[in-house]
Structure 1
Amino acid sequence: MRTPVLLSAIALLGLSACSGPDFEDPSEIRRVRVLGIKAEPPELVVAPDGSTLPPPVTFSALAVTPDARPVTVTYALCRPDVNPYGDVACPGDSGVPLGNGVLSLSDPAVQALLIESFQAATGSTGGG
């Protein structure tokens, strides 16, 4: 007798959990929405011997608004230890702006940020 009642209670709890918050319909655009970001080339391949730098990567976004206005997207390379959901000063002190959405490892500012991040993560001076 207890088993059917217990199973019914569990089923009722499961169904009530499914009626969570009202999510937006994916086909409805109520505010600016980024649908995707493309990287060209899609991979940043570094030579194992480090003899040559890979070509720059260009990012482009597919973003829409309810009234079909053009959307401007600004890209930045942020330090990996920065919380992207918090109050972030990126680019600012926490990152490097990527002009025209281009990430180039030949950019001295990008190199400095990557070296600083490596040193902070490993405690290494990066020499050798």
Structure 2
Amino acid sequence: MGKTGTTDGYRYAWFTGFTPEVVVGVGVGFDDEEALHLTGAQAALPMWVEFMRRIMPATPRDFARPPAVVMREIDPQSAQLATSKCPQRVAEVFIEGTEPSVYCEVHGSGFWERVKRGFGFF
């Protein structure tokens, strides 16, 4: 994960990225502030990727989920909990207690989802 950036006039390009183990920033530019004519994604990101390939294990560790964070499947059209009738589902992350509690009212009943939740199946 990371963020690219480019200064006014394309004089300096940068990318800062991170993993659970390390944060690495790469900046590219000339000492005399001559324009690079490149963005952070074009100039700095490829350098960051190559460096990270050399220092990181082939299978990097995932970020640990904090205990107060929950994932729920959401219908992107309604922003409500997805049901079996929703054509699309997106996994979203919420601080526990802020997640939607209403099932999708756009694509139909979430009857079975309510039954499963009532019995503690999800």
For the superposition of Structure 1 and Structure 2, which TM-score range results when normalised by the shorter chain?
A: under 0.3
> Which protein has the bigger helix share?
1
Q: TM-score, normalised by structure 1?
A: 0.21
> Which protein has the bigger strand share?
2
Computing the radius of gyration over CA atoms, which structure comes out larger, 1 or 2? Answer: 1
